[in-house]
Amino acid sequence: MNTSPLRAKRIHFRTKKYRSPDGLPTDICLFTLLSIPRQTKTKSLPLKQLAVLLIKRKSNTFGEQWALPGGFSHESETLDECAYRELKEETNIDRDVHIEQLKTYYKPGRDPRGWIPSVAYVSLVHEDLLKHAQANDDASDAQLFPIEEAFALNLAFDHREILTDALQRVREQMLQTTIAKAFLPDEFTLSELLQVIETVVPSFSAKDRGNFERRLLATTRRQGLLEPVLSADGQPVYSTEFSNSPAKLYRFTGFTPTAMIY
């Protein structure tokens, strides 16, 4: 290898020969699943819709734009802390929700205000937590958009690219990890789980509820992914929240089978 360019650059840095970034914001792609009640003759699962949180910006050059919520990080906080802080400021959520660093974006000119990269985060939040927050402030300029609608908007900066990447990441993770739990209560029925997966990843289709059930519960590869919720006397617990026919409740155990292509 060649002689150390790192050391050379350190000297430059010390003499302040080079500019420094003008700030390091974090931007958050906050996804939630909105429930859309159906009018049916008996109890049924509400439809679900994947939505993302955007805030309105008034730009003097670009007219009305929508942007991912975000804000500048401080020297005294970690990037994760900044993301949590922003989440709290925008949504009033102060819980341990799913939040995950996605990627850092910079290209010359991405922000007209200067040399401003952005550390993008993905957060998955159950709609109940957001409804509570929304009640606090109706005059807010933050709004949830179904993802197709979000992509039809005039988004600020490179936020369309970030949103595209975030959506792709969420879809991958939805199939390869147990992040579905972010959109589910602690105890849920198999229909709820299946619906979450199908809503987030439209290309996923179990087609057959019965086969989905067997795959998840009866195959050794996935043993321990889910466990039935048991009552004090060891009997399975049922829910009739979404159907007259009582449905067994399950929870994630913490074990995740490894997904692989080979």
Partner DNA sequence: CGAATAGTGTCTTTGAGACAATATAGC
Partner DNA sequence: GCTATATTGTCTCAAAGACACTATTCG
**Residues at the interface with DNA (CB under 7 A):** 38, 40-45, 189-191, 207-211, 213-215, 218-221, 238, 240, 242-248
Instruction: Tell me whether residue 74 or residue 214 sits nearer to DNA (CB atom).
Output: 214
Scanning the structure block, which residue is given the tokens 């939805």? Answer: 174
Residue carrying structure tokens 């009997």: 235
Cα–chain-centroid distance for residue 185?
16
Cβ neighbors of 41 (< 8 A, separation 6 or more) are none
In angstroms, rounded to a whole number, what is the distance separating the alpha carbons of residues 74 and 82? 7
Could you give the 3-state DSSP secondary structure of residue 51? strand
**Taking CB within 5 to 8 Å according to partner kind, which of DNA, its own copies, none is near residue 17?**
none
Question: How near is the Cβ of 139 to its own copies at its closest, in Å?
Answer: 8
Residues 47-66 that bind its own copies (CB under 8 A): 53, 55, 57
Compose the 127-166 pattern: x for residues touching its own copies by CB under 8 A, - for all others: ------xx-xx-xxxx------------------------
Q: Which two tokens stand for residue 169?
A: 């990441």
CA dist 88 and 85 (Å) reads 5
Beta carbon of residue 189, minimum distance to DNA (angstroms, whole number):
4
Site for its own copies in 169-228 (CB under 8 A): 175-178, 197, 204, 206, 212, 215-216, 222, 225
Q: How far is CA 17 from the centre of its chain?
A: 40
**Contacted entry of DNA, its own copies, none for residue 218, CB cut-off 5 to 8 Å set by kind:** DNA
At residue 115, the 3 state secondary structure works out as coil
Cβ closest to its own copies, residue 50 vs residue 178: 178
Interacting span for its own copies (CB under 8 A) from 42-50, 89-97, 146-154, 228-236: 89-97
Q: How far is the CB of 146 from DNA (least distance, A)?
A: 20
How far apart are the two ends of the chain, measured CA to CA in Å? 35
